[in-house]
Amino acid sequence: MDIESFVLDVVDVVAETADATSISFAVPAGAEEKFAYKPGQFLTVAVPSDRDGLAARCYSLSSSPHDDGPLTVTVKRTADGYASNWLCDNVTVGDTLRVLPPSGIFTPASLDADLLLFAGGSGVTPIMSIVRTALAHGTGRIVVLYANRDEKSVIFAGELSRLAAEHPERLQVIHWLESVQGLPTAEQMRAFAAQHPDHDTFVCGPAPFMKMVTGVLKELGVPRERRHQEKFVSLGGNPFGDVAEVRAAEEEVAAAEADDDAAAADVFADAPVGPVKLEVELDGEEHTFDDWDPRTKLLDFLESKGVKAPYSCREGECSACAIRMVEGDVRMLHNDVLDDDDLADGIRLGCQAVPLTDRVKVSYS
């Protein structure tokens, strides 16, 4: 079963910098509930491709879910990025793009919390959504450190200046320009973060930047529940499910895996012997089942029961299907996005999870 996708009209295109473009969408009538989102979440966009039929890519929402504005993602070109360059070069007002509903867990638990937000380059996109929303509907203080190559690379420079001027008691924005200050070091980031020991922290940007900042926060003793890091991997699968070439390749892989009995035996060697009892909390509802086959992935099982659990890539390459363990445990057959801290915090990928215990309880909240 493939997740429901929607064709959205492009209602605005704004060149934020020479390399970054914001694309705004109108949500179709009747789909408003599907596209309700939290600040910091992302959309999965289908980009036409002559090579693969389509390229599925995740782009963070820079808009706020509470200002009645259009749904907006901000896309920055990457040197060899087919999808990002195609979107920046080709999309105009009046076009349509196919997308999946919002997903992701890079979002504040409370808009009233004090926030310390680290952004590098295009990593400012979800940070911008969080800032806009928290200022309008929260009460906490917000500090943003935004690192860029040079002044011309700063996305949302005008908007950040405006918001800081309108909320001087609540928002502080520090720009770090490599052309002026050099690359930020761990020592510099440690000294900066130490000034805000009680803030909830969010980090998004290039991998080396995120690794450095996250390492600093760990050294400072910031607890796991107050450390959040966004992670994106180019999706290898096709969550839209209608490209013949991709589907055929997936079937070939599935057949090869089915033939490898020895490998399958190893994977499920410590699985429960019989059906597993499963409890799932999703969108405020609780679902209970007594017949989860230990060889069936959680997402596949829930879909077979008519439960519309979130997902995007189905490959363990994004966090759209993330769950939190409440009771019992699961094994992930593939994981390209969660790190050791995520796993220690009980986060798992539903699309790759099979049970390890005869009773499992998970939450999608």
Give the residue-averaged pLDDT of 158-176.
97
Contact (Cβ atoms closer than 8 angstroms) between residue 84 and residue 77: yes
pLDDT at 57: 87
The band of 225, judged by pLDDT with boundaries at 50, 70 and 90, is confident
Q: What is the pLDDT of residue 247?
A: 46
> With 70 as the cut, is the pLDDT of residue 2 above it?
no
- Look at residue 252 in the predicted model and tell me its pLDDT: 46
Does residue 49 or residue 332 have the better pLDDT?
332
Average pLDDT over residues 227-250: 60
Domains of the chain (ranges; CATH) run 6-103 (2.40.30.10), 115-229 (3.40.50.80), 263-363 (3.10.20.30)
Confidence at residue 49, expressed as pLDDT on a 0 to 100 scale: 76
CB half-sphere exposure, 352, CA atoms < 13 A: 22
H/E stretch holding 136 reads helix 124-137
DSSP 8-state symbol, 215: H
- What band does 238 get if pLDDT is binned at 50, 70 and 90? low
More confident residue, 236 or 50: 50
pLDDT band for position 361 (50/70/90)? very high
| Torsion angle defined by CA atoms of residues 128, 129, 135 and 141, in that order, rounded to the nearest 10 degrees | -60
pLDDT at 233: 52
Q: Quickly state the pLDDT bin for 266 (edges 50, 70, 90).
A: low
In three-state secondary structure terms, 158 is: helix
Confidence of residue 265 (pLDDT cuts 50, 70, 90): very low
pTM: 0.76
pLDDT tens across 311-332, in order?
877 778 777 788 999 999 999 9
Q: What are phi and psi of 209, to 5 degrees?
A: -65, -45
For 138, phi and psi rounded to 5 degrees? Answer: -125, -175
> Is 262 a residue whose pLDDT tops 60?
no
112 Cβ contact list (under 8 Å, min separation 6): 138, 139, 140
The mean pLDDT value of the chain amounts to: 87
Could you tell me whether strands 6-15 and 96-103 are parallel, antiparallel, or unpaired per DSSP bridges?
antiparallel
pLDDT, tens digit (0-9, with 9 covering 90-100), for 184-193: 999 999 999 9
Q: Residue 236 pLDDT more than 80?
A: no
Q: What is the DSSP string of 67-124?
A: S-PPEEEEEE--TT-HHHHHHHHH--TT-EEEEEEEE-S-S-S-TTS-EEEEEEGGGH
Structure-token pair, residue 107 = 């979002």
- Residue % of the chain over a pLDDT of 90: 65
Instruction: Determine the average pLDDT of the residues in 57-72.
Output: 92
pLDDT at 260: 40
51 pLDDT band, cuts 50/70/90, is low
Find, among 292, 298, 287, 288, the residue nearest to 276 by Cα: 292
Q: Would the pLDDT of 20 be above 80?
A: yes
pLDDT band at 56 (very low <50, low <70, confident <90, very high): confident
Question: Is the model more confident about 270 or about 237?
Answer: 270
